[in-house]
Amino acid sequence: MATKTSTTQLTETAKPGEAGQHQPRAAERILGVARNLFYREGIRAIGVDEIVRQAGVTKPSLYRSFSSKDELAATYLRNYEVEFWERFDQAVSAHPGDPRSQIRAFLTRVGHRAVQTDYRGCGMTNAAIEYPEHGHPARQVGEENKRELRRRLRAMAAEMGAEDADTLGDGLLLLLEGAYVSGQLFGPGGPAASVAENADRLISASLKAR
Amino acid sequence: MATKTSTTQLTETAKPGEAGQHQPRAAERILGVARNLFYREGIRAIGVDEIVRQAGVTKPSLYRSFSSKDELAATYLRNYEVEFWERFDQAVSAHPGDPRSQIRAFLTRVGHRAVQTDYRGCGMTNAAIEYPEHGHPARQVGEENKRELRRRLRAMAAEMGAEDADTLGDGLLLLLEGAYVSGQLFGPGGPAASVAENADRLISASLKAR
DNA sequence: TGTTCATGTTACTGACCGGTACGTTGCGGA
DNA sequence: TCCGCAACGTACCGGTCAGTAACATGAACA
């Protein structure tokens, strides 16, 4: 029914004929399409047929590179996580030695993205909600990411000199997750726009002796 | 496989022989089973066959009471929302005229539930994440609920005398949603345990002139 | 030129998806 | 006793699910 669109461009194509490395084009195109569809529609909502159709390949090509749909989803999430930490570290390195500004910079950007139309939140959080079963490959990526994120936020809270650094770090994590979820629930004009401001107020309250 | 459980009690049974209203038993059993399964496993993850099997009925019985699976899911969520407001209003009426204590009471209970094993967050939030498509019956229930919740939280923030009541109300909503999500991601010992404490600090910071 | 091997294809599987046509049962009232 | 009717079950629909067997192609290398 739908015409075959070639809009799914691969961002970085392995240059053919170099270093003898012949990265399969199919796997990258599949991953790119899966990333778009999984993020926008959800993992359970998208079948492998839809993915291979939009990628312009066929199912055996998918299953040669990924052992299962679950593994494809996990790969999508691992890539997603890499980019997440890139954004996070970008905010960190923009304000060396100033964790409060680091948090503010990161959350300002999150808050901005979260009120865009068709914002769909955090792919890892969404996947964990879609797959409540412990041990599911897709869920594990999210669980591990959130544990590490919690560790870093608590460390940053301690670096700020907060009395109860763990509580502050957890509060920042709650605000962040709330922004992810509320962003896709409310859309433009939603409460996620104020995540950075609220985080800063929470930091203020947590820094002064109570 | 599973033995036929009769745990799905109907909360309010239409007394037979009264007013000619004969509520079918099948519909209530279906709704009870659907509620359990949809909440614990997710809506997309559960097929109607599984529901009717556990309810001990057959599919036509389901489709006589519910026009579609989506409508069954929406009914489950509407019931879920009723109980949500019951819990919310319970915290409110426990501290008349004291919105700060109302918030603390509500969030204390949420924080406690959110760190239980197998906690699965807010059914409405989860459904909205499972169904990103605008206009989906299941999603609409959640969207409407969150809008009303936001309105009430902002009103309570104003009642507290916050300078920027809308920002504080939104901050409380972010913390709440974050507790829902983090609760099911981290399980026991997760950051959701501190949602009430963080909310109280945020209120403190928002009440004093900046 | 012939071999090898990764990447591509067509065509298929059994299970499950949501949903339905149609027959059966049981009960209250005439 | 029989009717009418609502509640329920049997058996089935086409479509889609994830996953696979078997074969074609094309380039690198001997």
Please tell me whether any atom of strand C lies within 7 Å of the Cβ of B130: no
Q: CATH top-level class for A77-207?
A: mainly alpha
Is pLDDT above 80 for A169?
yes
A9 or B195: whose pLDDT is higher?
A: B195
* Helix, strand, coil shares, percent, chain B, to 5: 70, 0, 30
Q: How far apart are CA A172 and CA B140, in angstroms?
A: 29
For B140-188, the DSSP string reads HHHHHHHHHHHHHHHHHHHHHT-TTHHHHHHHHHHHHHHHHHHHHHH-T
Angle at A176 between CA A173 and CA A178, to 5 degrees: 110
What is the pLDDT, as a whole number, of residue A24? 55
- Rounded to a whole number of angstroms, the CA Rg of chain A reads 20
Contacts of B158 (CB under 8 A, 6+ apart): B165, B169
What Rg, from alpha-carbon coordinates, does chain B have?
19
Pick the CATH number of B70-207 from 3.20.20.70, 3.90.190.20, 1.10.357.10, 3.40.50.620: 1.10.357.10
Residue by residue, pLDDT tens for chain B (210 residues) are 333 333 333 333 333 333 233 345 778 889 999 999 999 999 999 999 999 999 999 899 899 889 999 999 999 999 999 999 999 999 999 999 999 999 999 999 999 999 999 899 999 999 999 999 999 999 999 999 999 999 999 999 999 999 999 999 999 999 999 999 999 999 999 999 999 999 999 999 999 744
The answer to whether A25 CB is within 7 Å of strand C is: yes
| Confidence at residue B24, expressed as pLDDT on a 0 to 100 scale | 57
State mean pLDDT over A143-148: 98
Nearest to A142 by CA among A74, A45, A70: A74
Q: Which two tokens stand for residue B186?
A: 């981290």
CA distance B163 to chain A (A): 13
DSSP characters over A114-181:
HTSTT----HHHHHHHH--STT-HHHHHHHHHHHHHHHHHHHHHHHHT-TTHHHHHHHHHHHHHHHHH
Whether B138 contacts B127, CB under 8 Å: yes
pLDDT at position A3 over 60: no
The minimum CA-CA distance between B58 and chain A, rounded to whole Å, is 25
Residue of B nearest to A181 (CA): B177
Per-residue pLDDT at A10: 33
Nearest to A178 among B142, B173, B205 (CB): B173
φ/ψ of residue B120, rounded to 5: -125, 20
CA-based nearest residue to A26, from A47, A49, A63, A55: A55
Cβ-Cβ contacts under 8 Å, A132 against chain B: 40-42, 120, 184
CATH 1.10.10.60 matches B25-65:
yes
Residue, of A1 and B164, whose pLDDT is higher = B164
Residue A5 has pLDDT above 50, yes or no: no
Per domain, the residue ranges of chain B are: 25-65, 70-207
- For residue range A11-42, list pLDDT tens digits in order: 333 333 333 333 457 788 899 999 999 999 99
Any strand D atom closer than 7 Å to A136 CB: no
- A47 CB-to-strand D distance under 7 Å: yes
Residues B138 and B131 sit within 8 Å (Cβ to Cβ)? yes
Confidence of residue A92 (pLDDT cuts 50, 70, 90): very high
pLDDT at A138 over 50: yes
